[in-house]
């Protein structure tokens, strides 16, 4: 099968969060099974080009009709750790992808609508006719609309689209300008409630809704989150649309790239280990303490790695930090926020705790340190308010670090409580709490620390059971292939 992924991120060349890992990991697994996969990305000025091998111009002169005129693009090609990637570089005074960062601009809907259209134009002009185009999140959600309303007539009538929603909280709410600029026009038609008219703001165009309505299949990144999106306010206004299209909507848990995240060969960590030599993990705890100036001693280290976003339960992360300090444990945090105010708050907290040798806050993005934290910690906290899938808990499990999570979304589908799960005891792998409140965090951490301190053999068994889980792309890729097959033959 020939699959083209069109996305705004791909690890590690252009990564903000889990979306990037999914695009890379799924593509690799599909290729390993003999399918042909190409990835189309914007050519950001800030992307990590050191991860691209053999970058060369693939298409000199892509002309993308836009806003009554058009924009010339250069399309580059290069391998990103073996994946075939195309990077679209528009030449215009709007400098769509020359902003020094990936997101956060007033014209984001315009930037990514342009990208979606450019990706289709590139496929059309270069004769690419994939069996399936897999789009991701609001950034590329207009692609199926453009495909079926515009490009099908130009020659792309056999293509099918699978659209994956990684986060319902960001939907690309915009106005009719994107319709005019992309050449769709007809705001009365596309802006209708049964197409792209936003359900909450009736004057707005909702790009993600376009993806849901037009794609041949919609997935989100865990079965629990698929349910939450349809039945609770976690669908962020799209519950009704998902209900309408329930026959083409499902949840597929993300996989983890088991080559990139493998403690037996990970070049970023101090000591390699696997389930047969878990004691060697201690070398990473030492390296982590040395790096972050934490004191030595027999106390567990609790970690947090992730974006600093309200979604992640920031007040609960902060609470967990103080709980650790009051209970003779250590705490390390690696994170960065997209909001200046959030980063400021954490900088302030860091300064307040500056001379505390039991905790360290690293505000920023650091791939190497992330690996060392997963390898060196005893526990990882994820008190998310919502979590479509979550990769960090799966990485933690692979690195023998016990996840302590809130029972929501993908966390619920991957972490099973040591004391209370319905699964048999030998399948349990972490600690889970229900309500996003301080008491929930306290009780889960108390149980985790208690087991670590009083029942080291059982804690080790829990670690081993976690490491025995297979959250690689093996199963999820099978599910996606079944979906691709289904929509191809429908
Ligand atoms: P989300 O997609 O909501 O950001 P996930 O848990 O699905 O959350 O994925 C987060 C991914 O990004 C993980 O691979 C995590 O290690 C990585 N990550 C997040 N923040 C940072 C950071 N500040 N430094 C390094 N890696 C990070």
Along the chain (490 residues), what's the average pLDDT of each consecutive run of 10 residues?
A: 98 92 96 98 98 97 97 98 98 98 96 98 98 98 98 97 96 98 98 96 96 98 98 97 98 93 97 96 98 97 96 97 98 91 92 93 95 98 97 97 98 98 98 98 98 98 98 97 95
- H helices within 195-313, ranges in order? 207-214, 223-231, 239-244, 282-292
What's the start-to-end Cα distance of the chain, in Å?
16
- H helices within 380-455, ranges in order? 392-398, 409-414, 438-454
7 Cα–ligand 1 center, Å: 17
Q: Is 99 helix (H, G, I), strand (E, B) or coil?
A: coil
Rounded-to-integer distance, Cα 125 and Cα 135, Å: 19
H or E, element range at 101: none
User: What residues pair up with 174 in beta bridges, in sequence order?
Assistant: 205
**How confident is the model at residue 337, as a pLDDT?**
87
Sign of CA dihedral 480, 484, 489, 490: positive
**How confident is the model at residue 355, as a pLDDT?**
83
**How confident is the model at residue 23, as a pLDDT?**
97
Q: Which of 306, 336, 476 to mutate to test the pocket of ligand 1 (most atoms within 8 A of CB)?
A: 306
pTM to 2 decimals?
A: 0.93
H or E, element range at 333: strand 330-335
Residue nearest to atom 27 of ligand 1 (CA): 306
Number of the ligand 1 atom closest to the C-alpha atom of 11: 14
Rounded-to-integer distance, Cα 51 and Cα 201, Å: 41
What torsion, rounded to 10 degrees, do the Cα atoms 197, 200, 201, 206 define?
A: -40
Q: Report residues whose beta carbon is within 6 angstroms of any ligand 1 atom.
A: 17-18, 21, 305-307, 334-336, 365-367, 370, 389-392
Residue nearest to atom 24 of ligand 1 (CA): 365
Residue nearest to atom 21 of ligand 1 (CA): 306
305 Cα–ligand 1 center, Å: 6
Residue nearest to atom 2 of ligand 1 (CA): 18
**How confident is the model at residue 246, as a pLDDT?**
97
């Amino acid at each position: 099968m020939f699959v083209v992924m069109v996305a705004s991120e791909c690890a590690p060349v252009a990564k903000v969060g889990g979306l990037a890992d999914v695009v890379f990991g799924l593509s690799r697994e599909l290729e390993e099974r003999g399918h042909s996969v190409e990835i189309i990305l914007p050519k950001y000025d800030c992307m990590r080009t050191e991860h691209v091998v053999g970058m060369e111009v693939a298409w000199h002169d892509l002309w993308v009709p836009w806003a009554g005129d058009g924009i010339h693009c250069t399309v580059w090609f290069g391998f990103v750790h073996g994946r075939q990637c195309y990077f679209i570089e528009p030449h215009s005074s709007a400098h769509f992808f020359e902003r020094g960062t990936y997101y956060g601009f007033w014209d984001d809907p315009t930037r990514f609508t342009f990208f979606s259209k450019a990706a289709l134009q590139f496929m059309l002009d270069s004769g690419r006719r994939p069996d399936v185009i897999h789009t991701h999140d609001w950034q590329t959600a207009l692609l199926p609309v453009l495909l079926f309303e515009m490009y099908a007539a130009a020659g792309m009538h056999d293509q099918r689209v699978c659209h994956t929603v990684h986060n319902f909280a960001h939907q690309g709410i915009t106005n009719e300008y994107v319709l005019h600029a992309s050449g769709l026009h007809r705001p009365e038609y596309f802006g209708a409630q049964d197409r792209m008219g936003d359900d909450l703001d009736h004057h707005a165009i909702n790009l993600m809704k376009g993806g849901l309505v037009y794609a041949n299949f919609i997935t989100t990144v865990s079965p629990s989150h698929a349910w939450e999106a349809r039945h609770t306010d976690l669908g962020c206004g799209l519950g009704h649309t998902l209900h309408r299209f329930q026959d083409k909507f499902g949840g597929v848990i993300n996989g983890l790239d088991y080559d990139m995240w493998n403690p037996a060969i990970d070049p970023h960590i101090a000591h390699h280990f696997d389930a047969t030599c878990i004691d060697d993990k201690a070398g990473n705890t030492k390296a982590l303490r040395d790096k972050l100036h934490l004191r030595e001693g027999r106390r567990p280290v609790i970690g947090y790695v992730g974006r600093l976003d309200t979604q992640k339960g920031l007040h609960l992360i902060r609470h967990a930090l103080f709980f650790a300090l009051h209970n003779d444990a250590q705490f390390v945090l690696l994170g960065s926020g997209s909001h200046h105010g959030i980063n400021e708050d954490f900088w302030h907290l860091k300064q307040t705790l500056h001379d505390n040798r039991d905790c360290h806050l690293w505000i920023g993005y650091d791939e190497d340190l992330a690996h060392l934290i997963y390898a060196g910690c005893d526990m990882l906290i994820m008190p998310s308010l919502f979590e479509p899938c979550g990769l960090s808990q799966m990485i933690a499990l692979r690195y023998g670090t016990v996840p302590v999570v809130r029972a929501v979304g993908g966390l619920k589908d991957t972490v099973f409580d040591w004391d209370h799960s319905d699964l048999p005891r030998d399948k349990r792998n972490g600690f889970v709490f229900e309500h996003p409140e301080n008491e929930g965090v306290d009780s889960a951490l108390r149980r985790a620390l208690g087991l670590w301190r009083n029942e080291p053999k059982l804690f080790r068994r829990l670690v081993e059971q976690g490491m025995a889980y297979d959250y690689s792309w093996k199963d999820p890729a099978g599910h996606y292939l079944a979906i691709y097959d289904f929509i191809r033959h429908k």
